Homo-oligomer: A and B are copies of this chain.
Amino acid sequence: MKVAVLGFGTVGFGVYEMLKKAKGLEPGPVLVRSGKKDADFKVTSIDEIVNDPTVDAVAEVMGGVEPAYSYAAAALRAGKHFVTSNKALVAAKGPELDAIARERGVAFLFSAACGGGVPFLHNLALARESDEIRSMGGILNGTTNYMLDAMQRLHLDYADVLRDAQRLGYAEADPTADVSGLDALRKIMLASAVAYGTLPTEGLLNEGIESVTAADVAHFQSRGYTCRLIASGGKQDGGVYAYVEPVLLRDGAAECSVLQNFNMARYEGACAGSIVLMGQGAGRWPTASAVLRDLSGILRGEREMFPENVQRGAVDNSLCRHSYYVRLPKALAEKLPAASVEEEGDVARVLTEPMAVSEMHSLAKQMREGGAEVFFAAVRE
């Protein structure tokens, strides 16, 4: 199967090199920006790929919604299998691409868009066919895991670890999508669509790690907790939930062994129980390996990751309740259903009674709109 590659950056190069060695696969033309054509195998127009009858499949690793969506739709309409690592594309246009792929009887797969090298969506899609997926999620953003881990183990402050993450290439010059939880949120959106056939677009909540300080980390570390940014999705009481927030885990929990920029994805099946997958969530070779696994899957007969007729829908994040650790100005502590409060100068550290996720996120938003500095994290015992 000859595979054209869209994009020749970090991951594109990795995909191209892996295609040379993989069983049953070979590299086809590679789409690059005009001006970047410095070899015969590179082309600068998508038409040279879409109209090439020797190209069987297209692997897209450019990122962004456009022109990726136009290219993807054209490739699928031309009867070519389409594989992508682009979570923004699938979160925005997944249902449309899936419909075209099914109409043409070709594959639309996107393992690399969630969990990088971790084979999460592929396994979730397979498990869904015979088991009832109760919940899923995990540590789906390597950048923030690197930062939280460094803050805890090296006792560094937020600004320092962000600078280190940028220097190491883990964080972009503009790190907003990572540190705000948006990147992890897009991934749990995809997982929810794979598990339940609903791509959540309304009611989503994401709290990132921008508010965490070295003092917060020292505080919960001294009490035997480790902080991780966790994406959560699932079904409860007939509704679907999906949100991202920091979580404090008891030392010894599996999540605490996820160091540096590694990812840990998880799903819970009614029969299988909890299935956990860990590995490198980003980087040239891990991401390329996920793209290649999808391509090998096509050779083995795999065609779709979404269930049939995937729809956009709303989630209800009032379905889940847990206790929160909240650091906020002392004067605001009374707004929380406190189980215990510690005060230090003007700051209060509150452990709350169980609260709805939506309530906590909404309270923090209100307080911040009033100018308050607030950090919160769910507490998992």
Q: How far is the CA of A126 from the CA of B123 in the complex (A)?
A: 11
Interface size on A, residues (CB 8 A): 50
Known contacts A130-B18, A301-B302; decide if A254 and B273 are in contact (CB<8 Å): no
B288-A280 in contact (CB<8A): no
Partner of A271, one of B119, B130, B272, B289: B289
Name the residue in A131, A253, A258, A270 with the highest tally of chain B Cβ atoms < 10 Å from its Cβ: A131
Stretch in contact with the other chain, from A91-99, A160-168, A290-298: A290-298
- Determine whether A214 belongs to the interface, using a CB cutoff of 8 Å to chain B: no
User: What is the bound-complex CA distance between A133 and B349, given in angstroms?
Assistant: 48
Asked if A223 is at the interface (CB within 8 A of a chain B CB), the reply is: no
In the assembly, what is the distance between CA of A269 and CA of B131, in Å? Answer: 29
A127 is an interface residue with CB less than 8 A from chain B: yes
- A25: chain B residues within 8 A (beta carbon): 130
Of the residues B127, B270, B300, B302, contact of A293 by C-beta under 8 Å: B127
Q: How far is the CA of A258 from the CA of B278 in the complex (A)?
A: 13
B285 engages A280 (CB within 8 Å): no
By a beta-carbon cutoff of 8 Å, the part of chain A in contact with chain B is 14, 18, 21-25, 117-119, 122-123, 126-127, 129-131, 252-254, 256-258, 269-280, 285-286, 288-290, 292-293, 295-297, 299-303
